[in-house]
Amino acid sequence: MKLYTPKTPSVFPKLFKKYRWHFHSEEKVLYLTFDDGPIPEVTDFVLEQLKEYNAKATFFCIGKNVKKNPAIYSRIIAEKHAVGNHTYSHLKGWKVKTSKYLENVAKAHTYVDSKLFRPPYGKIKKKQAKALLKKGYHIIMWDVLSADFDSKITKEKCWENVKLNTKKGSIIVFHDSLKARENMEFVLPKVLEHFTKEGYSFKGIS
C-alpha cells in the first residue's frame, strides 16, 4: 500500500507552519534535495549531473555515511552545494524517545555542520521538532516527492511525479541511495534538462 503522495497535501503546510515546505518565488527557481547519502556509488553520479548544468542542490546527509565517506562529503562542500542534518543513523522520530532522537541529531552535527534539518521519513514528534527549532534548526520538508525509493513504480512514473507537480520555488526530494539509484539516475538528468530548457535555475537552501 502506497503511504505517500508525490504532491504534498496543502493542509500540511497549514498545520505545520514552522516547517519549510516550499519557497514563495516569482523567479523560476527550484530546490533539488538529496537524502540519505553520501555514498560513493550514487552521490558522485549526482554531483556530476549537477555540475553539467551548473546546478546547486542540498544534501541531507546521514552522519554515519559522512563518517564513512568523508571525501565525498568534502566534494559536496567544495562544489558549493548546501548540506543538512538527516540524523546520525536515519532514525524514525515517531518510534524513538525525544532524548534519543536529539542525541542522534547532535551526533550527526559533529559530522554535518549545518542548521538545516530534515527528519527521516518526514516523521518527527511535535516535542522533537520544538526542541530542534529552539536550538536554531530549520526543519526542511518538501512539496514534491519523486518517490525514487519506490521499487514498485516505473522510472517513467517517477519522472511524471516531478514533472507534473513542480512549480516555482518547489523543494523536490530525491535520494542518493542504493535503493533509489535506478529511478533517480533515470529521472535526475531529465529534470535538469527539462527545467533548464524551461528557464529554471537550481539553488541550494541557505
172, HSE (Cβ side, Cα atoms, 13 Å): 30
Task: Cite the active site residues.
Answer: 35, 175
Longest dimension (CA), the chain: 47
Please name every residue paired with 171 in a beta bridge, in sequence order, or none if there are none.
31
Q: Which of 70, 103, 69 is nearest to 89 (CA)?
A: 103
Tell me how many helices (H) and strands (E) the chain has: 8, 8
CA separation for the pair 36, 86 (Å, rounded): 7
176 close to 148: Cβ distance less than 8 angstroms: no
